[in-house]
Amino acid sequence: MKAAAAFWTASDSSEEQDEAVMTLATHLNARASYIRRLPIARRTAYLAHLPKLPRRVWSVAILAYHSACKSEMLETFLNEVKISHDKGIFEETNEMQVPCTEVLQRAVEVLRNRYNATDVAVYLLTLSLQSARLWSELPHILEVQDRESLKRVEGSR
């Protein structure tokens, strides 16, 4: 729900908002003009309960959510991996160095120690989906760390 709300208030996503309006109009069998006139709270509820979102809409919604609600976590991670950013938002370029596995592991540990585990997992997996070149190691690191945590818990019983 928070991601859908952030999506409608994101100022730089008008194309994706138009796509979402058309998707909602089709799903609700309504006109696009009707959807546009709905209060943001209603559009948010409808968008949050759609069974399937277009990929571009989903990408912008999750990015808007993270930048609006989790910017401190984004900044922490990007600082740990030494990527310059503006309040947790960075522009990927071909010249960017892929962070080494050790740096990524440490950054993931820092996030997991400071923030909600679900928020961390969603953010890191979203990063890996948005740029396989830069973040391809993240799913593996999360999996290994989860396995190690489970072993520690089972060993303490």
Is residue 19 over pLDDT 90? yes
Is residue 143 over pLDDT 90? no
* Per-residue confidence (pLDDT) for residue 113, from 0 to 100: 94
Of 72, 130, 136, 131, the residue nearest 104 (C-alpha): 136
Query: Tell me: the pLDDT tens digits for 71-96?
Result: 899 999 999 999 888 888 887 777 88
Dihedral sign (CA 69, 39, 37, 2): positive
Is residue 38 over pLDDT 90? yes
Q: What angle do CA 83, 88, 90 make, to 5 degrees?
A: 55
**In the chain, where the domains are located:** 2-68, 70-155
The reported pTM is 0.73
